[in-house]
Structure 1
Amino acid sequence: MLRWFLLAFASAASALPAQLVVATAQYDNSRTGANLLETKLTPDNVSSGRFGKSFVMPVTGNVNAQPLYVPGLDVAGKGVHDVVFVATEHDNIYAFDAAGQPAEPLWRVHLADPEKGINPVDSHFLACSFISPEAGITPTPVIDPATRTMYALVRTFENPPGTQGHYVQRLHAIDIATGLERTGSPVRIHAAMKGSAFFGLSQRDVEFDPQVENPRAALLLSGGQVYIAWGSSCDHGSYYGWVMAYDAHTLRQRAVFNTAPDAGESAIWQGGAGLAADDEGNVYGVTGNGSFNASSKGGRNYGDSVLKLGLRDSALAVLDFFTPSTQMRMNWTDQDLGSTGPLLLPDQPGPHRHLMAAAGKNGVIYLIDRDRMGKYQFSSDSHAVQTVETPSSLYGAAAYWNGHLYYFGSDNVLCEFALTNGRLSPEPVRRGTQRFRNPGAIPVISANGVRNGIVWAVRTKTAAEHDVEGVLQAYDASDVSHLLYNTEGTKDHPGLSLRLTMPMIANGRVYVASHDAVSVYSLRN
């Protein structure tokens, strides 16, 4: 499968170098977190004293979504630009020139309408401080470079004059050259299915609740379908885990899946990481706290599980799953597996060619065979290909590069594990030197193929902490004990931090989202 999105431009005389397109969170549908087309930034020049903060892209609203990047885009009325797209919790989407020339947005669209009583959701009514003071566009959108269309999930509270007001979520399809809605956009999110959660033993319609359901995981585009996942806002309310598929061309809802219709909970939040997809179009997600009974006849509750879903006509079916033997204890003690997203690894030698990694708050990394995921086993975790215990809770995502897997756990340092012949080293082969408090960080890689690898990470605030300055750090990916760059205590800090920020690296620049801005770092002349 493609490990990164790229456009290759060729002339009759010669082929030009491939250009990176960051069309989705974590660079690719495998969610490797690695940009392998970075030719400008190297460990040597990032550590030389020439690298630092260059400029800021100011926006209205906090930025929880990872910025996206499309080079060589012909923007209506503005000419050709390398473009960075930023989505905010104020329901704004911006298109900026990637180099800050010009500094003002190439276009901006506001997907609410205050004059009609349509506004971003006041976070006070979500009873969760992690996304505040308002909730608008939380998950990272996804772009189809072929059609120049961005898909974004937007939340609003709509209170036109004379009404009581109601919460709404919509899927928008935006032309990235103009900022205008595509034909048929937006569509309102709605779903219902039979279930007994919160109703005793009786089967009733379980309906999607746009106030309670929090779309935290990044959107996925695979096989012509846009996939969206939902969880909770700080475990409040009668929530479920949902996955829905929408036709990318028509925005027609194709299929709906509920992770625990007879129990509730089992959110898919993944610390902001996206659902993953393989070459066959199978979709992978990880659920959080909730009941599990899928190993029993007729059971369909999948708490603390890794799911492999397939789109079959008008249904999303569970093709296979993996559930740790300790699922019941994990649920009782808030050690949910779904605090990180899935990572699909490149093909491996040996009996388990198609591996994936999943990890959660219990600190265990599970290597799972995607062809035979193992389902559930009560006595032990021998149904996993391998388990590796770490001393810290894990949030957000890992990154993979050049035979190594990188995790940055809560109250821990960056850890580098070697993957050899389909097995992880039982301990980190190298460790970073800078300890990050809860929730740790999401590592992101920039590299030129297998050369000049750099691990980037942003230190953010703890769960109960007031706003603090973020810290951007860079490590040598070949040996993470070498710290290359650190903004702590300098004027180059990236602003007030949000939780679990994913930096984006493209064409020699590093983009770091924060409160009301994206800070841009590059080499200085």
Structure 2
Amino acid sequence: MLTYHNDIGRTGQDLTESILTTTNINNVTNPTPAFGKLYELGVDGLVDAQPLIKTQVAIPGKGTHNVLYVVTENDSVYAFDADSSGAALWQVSVVGSGETPSDPRGCSQVPNQIGITSTPVVDPTAGPHGTIYLVAMSKNTKSGAYIQRIHALDLTTGAEEFGGPVTVTATFAPGPAFSPGQYKERAGLLLLNGQIITTWASHCDDQPYNGWIMAYDQNTLAQTSVLDITPNGSEGAIWQAGGGPAADSSGNIYLLDGNGTFDTSIVGGFPSKGDFGNGFLKLSNSSGLQVTDFFEPYDTVSESNSDADLGSGGAMVLPDMTDSTNTTRHLAVGAGKDGNIYLVDRTNMGKWNSTSNNNLNAYQVLTGALNGGEWAMPAYFNFTLYYGGVSEPLQAFAFSQAKLGAMPTSSSSETYGYPGTSPSISANGTSNAIVWAVQANGSAGVLHAYDATNLATELYNSSTVPADSFSDNKFITPTIANGKVYVGTPSSVAVFGLKP
């Protein structure tokens, strides 16, 4: 589990889980369940990023371990034994001298302090022992200046690599220069073709801000490309509820950006001034970051004006599918605040039509499928999409001939309040498929597990066992690996597994 949602397509599925089964995790029908919370690993701050795992890491003086990597909003990075002991292997702070983590910038999206918000990415082949890349925000205690930095840390010791860290600066004419205090790196990092792709969100909708995307060489940390997707306008930030930009096997990048300027004056199919606010974007980085295709809802301007944008949810690249004419389709999917699920053709995203979404530019739209809107990421398994919208149950939408069924094939009995849920999937190939989802209840979190073939069949519910309780965290995505489930909390990672 080296990147957000397990792969660069952001499908959220792990098809190598052979320990956890639909039988042995069941505490709904089994009065003496074998599965539950084993312990919590205490850390020094809020865990907003998805925990990552690298197996078989040789830690100096401590032997070889499967290692759980955890980052906090207190600008700390932890390496824990991911198995039975949960022992701390190393811990480092990435706060510079004379600095603290940032204050929350008058915005409650990240409460109390801002440090490392986004999910890092691990490359086990980089550097002498493998490298974890991350972005950290801090504040100078004397000058009050805010700083954003790219870090590359040795997986075995936490030591800085490649001459890092590197301070984030950027310009993109004709817009204003990047101002580090106005942004947080919310969406997970993407490692693609030797480049670390970073995307930037504002603090709430506090002006001024733009839609920044930046690329860095993973071996030198040198900035290689910068793109502002609203250079002649404003806004257009990238949140995606923490979901990292997705990528396909051809090296194209896909993301949803938030409310912002969109040029309704179209030249050659593209906005005349290069402003892509509230869009489903396809980017290339083969010769510098640039938008190569896009989809915009027909009512994109009014959506942005009413803060009903796409940027609250994340984009996913789907496996290839064959349609009714036996044509192979290359698709991506995303959803946001307007409650629609948008399926787009990656070879022809559809661009913008001012009168309708259906049949004119989008490949398929499920209008109102998520009535409360989407502030999360879906998961995918075996021709089925799993969406957990706001004030909705977790729902399964099945594909047939490269189209989504209009109605869910199954739903959970529980309704998920704000912000919904970003599920993850564990399975052993196509067997023992389990959908894991964290429910935020304001103080106590709940870990749910469902049979992936029928979400009405709940297998595990942590709220039914007092000893399995944990504090909730708004946007956490569970990580499943090697018979364990890892859930970030405001001050720990709760670890679930089969009991001894």
TM-score, scaled relative to structure 2: 0.94
Offset of residue 83 of structure 1: 0.4
Query: Are 1:64 and 2:48 matched, yes or no?
Result: yes
Which SS does the other structure have where 2:4 is aligned?
coil
Gaps of 5+ in 2: none
1:435 maps to 415
2:291 maps to 318
Native 8 Å contact 2:376 2:388 kept in 1: no
Which SS does the other structure have where 1:483 is aligned?
strand
Which one of the candidate residues 181, 188, 191 is aligned to 2:167?
Answer: 188
Native 8 Å contact 1:24 1:143 kept in 2: yes
1:198 maps to none
1:344 maps to 317
1:156 maps to 138
Alignment-mate amino acid for residue 153 of structure 1? V
Show CA shifts across 1:191-216 (max 9, x none). Answer: 01223xxxxxxxxx511111111211
1:118 maps to 99
Write the distance in 2 (CA, Å) between the matches of 1:328 and 1:363.
Answer: 16
Native 8 Å contact 2:350 2:362 kept in 1: yes
Write the distance in 2 (CA, Å) between the matches of 1:91 and 1:222.
Answer: 25
1:281 maps to 251
Which one of the candidate residues 290, 315, 321 is aligned to 2:260?
Answer: 290
User: Counterparts of 1:220-369 in structure 2 under 5 Å?
Assistant: 220-293=190-263, 296-297=266-267, 298-313=272-287, 315-350=288-323, 351=327, 353-369=329-345
Query: Are 1:374 and 2:350 matched, yes or no?
Result: yes
Which SS does the other structure have where 1:193 is aligned?
coil
Write the distance in 2 (CA, Å) between the matches of 1:330 and 1:488.
Answer: 38
Percent of counterpart pairs with the same letter?
Answer: 40
Gaps of 5+ in 1: 1-21, 196-204, 462-466
1:17 maps to none
Query: Are 1:40 and 2:22 matched, yes or no?
Result: no
1:464 maps to none
Offset of residue 493 of structure 1: 4.4
Native 8 Å contact 2:137 2:184 kept in 1: no
Alignment-mate amino acid for residue 271 of structure 1? A
Offset of residue 294 of structure 1: 6.3
Write the distance in 1 (CA, Å) between the matches of 2:210 and 2:424.
Answer: 30
Show CA shifts across 1:370-404 (max 9, x none). Answer: 00001001111121111112122111200000110
Alignment-mate amino acid for residue 73 of structure 1? V
RMSD across aligned C-alpha pairs, in angstroms?
Answer: 1.3
Query: Are 1:107 and 2:87 matched, yes or no?
Result: no
| Greater alpha carbon shift after TM alignment, 400-409 vs 347-356 | 347-356
Offset of residue 262 of structure 1: 1.3
Which SS does the other structure have where 1:206 is aligned?
coil
Offset of residue 95 of structure 1: 0.3
Write the distance in 2 (CA, Å) between the matches of 1:435 and 1:359.
Answer: 18
What is the total number of aligned residue pairs between the two structures? 481
Query: Are 1:460 and 2:440 matched, yes or no?
Result: yes
Which SS does the other structure have where 1:134 is aligned?
coil
Offset of residue 494 of structure 1: 4.9
Which SS does the other structure have where 2:471 is aligned?
coil
Distance 1:494 1:139, change over 3 A: farther
Show CA shifts across 1:104-123 (max 9, x none). Answer: 4100011114xx32110121
Which one of the candidate residues 371, 381, 388 is aligned to 2:366?
Answer: 388
Write the distance in 1 (CA, Å) between the matches of 2:334 and 2:224.
Answer: 27
Alignment-mate amino acid for residue 34 of structure 1? Q
Alignment-mate amino acid for residue 181 of structure 1? E
User: Counterparts of 1:65-214 in structure 2 under 5 Å?
Assistant: 65-101=49-85, 103-113=86-96, 116-123=97-104, 126-147=105-126, 148-159=130-141, 163-195=142-174, 205-214=175-184
TM-score, scaled relative to structure 1: 0.90
Query: Are 1:511 and 2:493 matched, yes or no?
Result: no
Offset of residue 100 of structure 1: 4.3
Show CA shifts across 1:256-313 (max 9, x none). Answer: 0111111110111101000011111111111111121165233211111011111143
2:424 maps to 444
